[in-house]
Amino acid sequence: MKNCIRRIVETFVRNDYSEQTKKEVWKWFADEEHAEEKEQALHMLWEKAGMESAPANMNDSLKKMKQNIGFQTETRRKKLLPSWIWQAAAVFFFAVSTVSITLMIYFSRIEDVDLIENYTPVADLRQVTLPDGTEVILNSKTTLLYPAQFKGDTRSVYLIGEADFKVKPDKEHPFIVKSNGFQVTALGTEFNVEAYADDDCLTATLLSGSVQVYFNNLQSQVILKPNEQLVFNRNTKTHQVHRPDMEDVTAWQRGELIFSEMSLEDIITRLEHKYPYTFVYSLHSLKKDRYTFRFPAKTTLPQVMDIITRVVGDMEYQIKENKCYLIQKKR
């Protein structure tokens, strides 16, 4: 649990998210569940940053923030956060340069919420039934945040990773999946969302029904039809809509590995999601070619690497403990 919370906090402070996404994450962070682990995670990041990295006007902004939110006089909250957390938050907010005093006011006054955090470890899949009856399959290294009970006009969840959603129909309460400036809204349907923090692309694939996908920090939108897939590149800010093989899209749910026209770097990223190993390699030694591989369920990492290195041709691998080393063959 502690490592999972640290990953969420690190992902949040190191990426540029939309204002709505920041509010959702801070809403989760403000919840008292696992409060000690959350404090430890932020404290660790604070120590990493060091006081020397604090902006010159941080103290003034921090003082103004406390005055605006009545930090010293607030008595209704069950627990006041330690002052160093506010200092750490101020430093990190300056670092990502997109969070305002208004957001901090929102954070300080938020009502108590009961959020559930569901994390799927590496090399594992997990099935979850949400409070409204929606069925979710979580891929490995995926975190899903959702309320113990849906309230209000919408049913919103927050996703880091990949998941398949079979949404319980409810026309009066749209189902919304949010992730890093990316949002999929549905009434009753089945769709797949892939939004790993370490991937350049965010992907939404519609299997049945209809969904509206918001992307590019929610500034753009596309309505998908069944068997259509939207891929948004966070770096180039471009998107494509095409019709993939649905068997390929859902292969991960069957434990299969499918790489279609992918670079070695992207393949390695996917392998780190699938297997509990860290890959060690030199980026410039990787070929820029694109490859297509298909591996059945229960294929071991050595079996995968045997085939990949054989196809690439000038690469060898060594697995030692929990690391996989990629080595360029000597000529």
Domain boundaries, the chain: 2-109, 115-248, 255-328
Closest CA to 117 of 220, 18, 32, 57: 32
- pLDDT at res. 276: 93
How far apart, in whole angstroms, are the C-alpha atoms of residue 268 and residue 308? Answer: 11
Contact 112, 149 (CB under 8 A): no
Look at residues 133, 74, 75 and name the one whose alpha carbon lies nearest to residue 105: 74
The string of pLDDT tens digits covering residues 247-285 is 999 999 999 999 999 999 999 999 999 999 999 998 887
Q: Is the pLDDT of residue 303 over 60?
A: yes
The string of DSSP letters for 211-269 reads EEEEETTTTEEEEEPTT-EEEEETTTTEEEEE---HHHHTGGGGT-EEEEEEEHHHHHH
Average pLDDT over residues 217-221: 91
Give the tens place of pLDDT for each residue, 26-53: 555 555 555 566 556 655 554 554 444 4
When pLDDT is cut at 50, 70 and 90, the band that residue 159 belongs to is: very high
**3-state SS assignment for residue 120:** strand
Question: Quick one: pLDDT at residue 110?
Answer: 38
DSSP category for residue 189:
-
* Confidence label for 201 from pLDDT (cuts 50, 70 and 90): very high
The confidence score (pLDDT) of residue 132 equals 95
Q: Average pLDDT in the 73-85 region?
A: 40
CA distance 71 to 12: 24
Select from 192, 185, 181, 201 the least CA-distant residue to 136: 192
Percent of the chain with pLDDT over 90: 53
pLDDT at 89 over 80: no
Confidence of residue 66 (pLDDT cuts 50, 70, 90): very low
Asked whether the predicted pLDDT for residue 245 surpasses 60, the reply is yes
Q: 287 by DSSP, 3-state: which? A: coil
pLDDT computed for residue 286 by the predictor: 85
pLDDT at 324: 96
Would you state the pLDDT for residue 7?
57
> In the chain, pLDDT over 70 holds for what percent of residues?
66
Residue 179 has a pLDDT of 87
Exposure of 331 in the CB half-sphere (CA atoms within 13 A): 2
CA distances, 200 to each of 10, 195, 264, 266, 296 (Å)? 17, 9, 14, 9, 26
Name 57's Cβ contacts closer than 8 Å, sequence gap at least 6: none
3-state SS record for 125-187:
CEEEECCCCCEEEECCCEEEEEECCCCCCCEEEEEEEEEEEECCCCCCCCEEEEECCEEEEEC
For residues 114 and 131, the answer to whether their CB atoms sit within 8 Å is no
Pick the CATH number of 115-248 from 3.90.950.20, 1.20.120.790, 3.40.50.720, 2.60.120.1440: 2.60.120.1440
User: Contact at 8 Å (CB) between 121 and 140?
Assistant: yes
CA atoms within 13 A on the CB side of 238: 2
**For residues 167 and 60, which has the higher predicted lDDT (pLDDT)?**
167
Instruction: Give the least confident one: 24-38, 106-120, 310-324.
Output: 24-38
The CATH number of 255-328 is: 3.55.50.30
Q: How confident is the model at residue 111 (pLDDT cuts 50, 70, 90)?
A: very low
Q: What confidence tens digit (pLDDT) does each residue in 2-35 have?
A: 455 555 655 555 555 555 555 566 555 555 555 5
At residue 64, does pLDDT exceed 60? no
How far apart CA 168 and CA 166 sit, in angstroms, is: 7
136 burial (CB, 10 Å; 0-12 / 13-18 / 19+) is buried
Say what the pLDDT of residue 74 is. Answer: 35
**pLDDT exceeds 80 at position 229:** yes
Closest CA to 282 of 317, 321, 326: 326
What is the structure's pLDDT at 320? 95
Position 180 scores a pLDDT of: 78
Mean of the per-residue pLDDT values of the chain:
77
